[in-house]
Amino acid sequence: MLHSHFFETAASCIDSPALWVKDRLYSYGDIQTRARRISAGLTAIGQRNDIGRCLLFAYRSVEAYAGVLGILDAGMAYVPLSPKAPPSRMATIIAQSGAPLMLVDRRCASGLEDVLALLDAPPQIILIDDDASGTPLPSFASTLTTLPSVPYVRRPGTEHDVAYILFTSGSTGTPKGVPITHANANAYVKGQLQLHERTDNARHIQLCELSFDPSVHDMFVCWATGGCLYVPETVDPVYNADFIRRYGITHWSSVPSVVGFMQQMRKLTPGAFPSLRVSMFGGEQLPRSLALAWMRAAPHSKLFNMYGPTEATIASTCFEVSADFIDTPQHTVIPLGRALPGVELMIVDADLQPVAAEQTGELLIAGPQITEGYLSADSRLGNDRFVSKSFPGRLAQRWYRTGDIVRTTGELGIVFHGRVDTQVKVRGNRVELEEVEHIVHASSGAALCAVIAWPLDEVGRAAGLVAFVTNPRVDTEAVLHACRQRLPDYAAPQRIVSLDEMPLNANGKIDRKALVEQCARTMIPA
């Protein structure tokens, strides 16, 4: 079970530091006590109501991490919510999750009022924050409950139980839930333990929110090796450059964009981060120039480029950047590398037939990390991404179609070449352009609309989005407001552009390449 990685370490290292958050250090024993108190209360409720899922709305607090462990230990799946998501998106996720319970900390409770107003059947909200600092509670505080105080009884489960559910951008206009089982997550963690040597007194930084799957890596790879998870109050790059030095962080994990901001602020000076031993990047392409700057700033650290969709549990491939590779100028982008332990890969054409060596095609992924499918029964089209097929020399029978175009290049392994669809990454976050276009179209009244990623850097990484509409009388501020009300900040267009007519290609489809060229030529500087 995924949470066993924590509790097994706690059994032998009860007094060792496990978590640093809000300027306080907590031992494995401290967190275990809190987690089991939550587990006992949830188990008592769950036995009465047969509850299998529990929402978690807590942000960078000890309650957030005890909540993850407590929910798992109670035999439930945790469904994390982001405090940065707009109320309508949170309400959609809550409704789709079907979870009847929600654990909240005091900081997040005040952000629930607008969300609850949008729900026909709100979940039971349980306050797990014992903060006595005087932080005010919301007006609906009288409806908050607390967990019953009951003796702890371990609740058994199986590796096929769902451990957590994450919601990604959906091409149908609404987020789609991805249930990850204990077997999926445990296969990933075990693979990481094979990949990396144990570091004494390891200090892992945790930057991303619990609603993004790299957080699972940060937590459970750290705790499986007896390390301490350090949770800074902010993801501000300047703050965290100093944070690395102040707390002697040994393990770093982030999207490349975070480090790009550090570079812009001149924080990647040679030898700036001598404590780092392992650095991992993923979520978007890693330029050679940025990798080189990071290696100079962290001279004692190994550097890994990780790749993988949420449906394949955190990461599926890895490339370790060597000195020889980084010294070769023609390598402008770090490759995706090779399969992680237990993962199988295939590159196929549109008919799902293997392509010849060195030829481009769509990447398929198989292995114990692949989820069984999407949460909603309405996700039939999405579930078509999971296919059953046998390939010579491969053990797997079930594969996930990533939509990523790649090719194999000898010793470098797999290299990324683009997408078969319009999915993009914005500052490392996955965005289905169809979801954004659905909202732009509904709020603009335009006959046609298209959203593109812009501006782009030298390796094609997107910093934002621009929407084009064929409505000369469009109220651009109203459209932008509608997008901000329903989308995370990274998925909301930064600008709405009205066109007399939309450029079309020879097949009569919107010519997105022409729109990108228009941005580059006349509109917005990169």
Q: Which residues contact 277 (CB under 8 A, 6 or more apart)?
A: 199, 202, 250, 251, 300, 301, 302
Give every strand in the sheet of 495-498, ordered side by side: 449-453, 465-469, 495-498
pLDDT given at position 56: 97
Fold agreement between 1-11+23-157 and 335-419: no
Nearest to 519, CA basis, from 468, 447, 460, 443: 468
> Residue 496 corresponds to which tokens in the numbers above?
């709405």
> Which architecture characterizes domain 1-11+23-157 according to CATH?
3-Layer(aba) Sandwich (3.40)
What pLDDT is stored for residue 180 in this prediction? Answer: 97
- Non-local CB neighbours of 23 within 8 Å, separated by 6+ positions: none
pTM: 0.89
Give the pLDDT score at 526: 44
pLDDT at 171: 65
Class of domain 335-419: mainly beta
- pLDDT tens per residue across all 526 residues of the chain: 999 999 999 999 999 999 999 999 999 999 999 999 999 999 988 776 667 999 999 999 999 999 999 999 999 999 999 998 999 999 999 999 999 999 999 889 888 988 989 999 899 999 998 665 556 666 666 678 888 889 888 888 899 999 999 998 876 667 889 999 999 999 999 999 998 888 889 999 999 999 999 999 999 999 999 999 999 998 888 899 999 999 999 999 999 988 888 998 899 999 999 999 999 999 888 989 899 999 999 999 999 999 999 999 999 999 999 988 888 878 788 999 999 999 999 999 999 999 998 899 999 999 999 999 998 755 455 578 999 999 998 999 999 999 999 999 888 899 998 888 888 888 888 898 888 988 998 898 887 888 998 888 777 788 899 999 988 888 999 999 999 998 999 999 999 999 888 888 776 778 888 888 888 887 655 4
Report pLDDT for 133: 55
Domain ranges within the chain, ordered by starting residue: 1-11+23-157, 335-419, 423-523
pLDDT at 145: 85
pLDDT at 379: 46
Cβ-based burial of 344 (10 A; exposed 0-12, middle 13-18, buried ≥19): middle
The topology (CATH level 3) of 423-523 is GMP Synthetase; Chain A, domain 3 (3.30.300)
DSSP single-letter state for residue 226: T
d(C-alpha 511, C-alpha 424), whole Å:
16
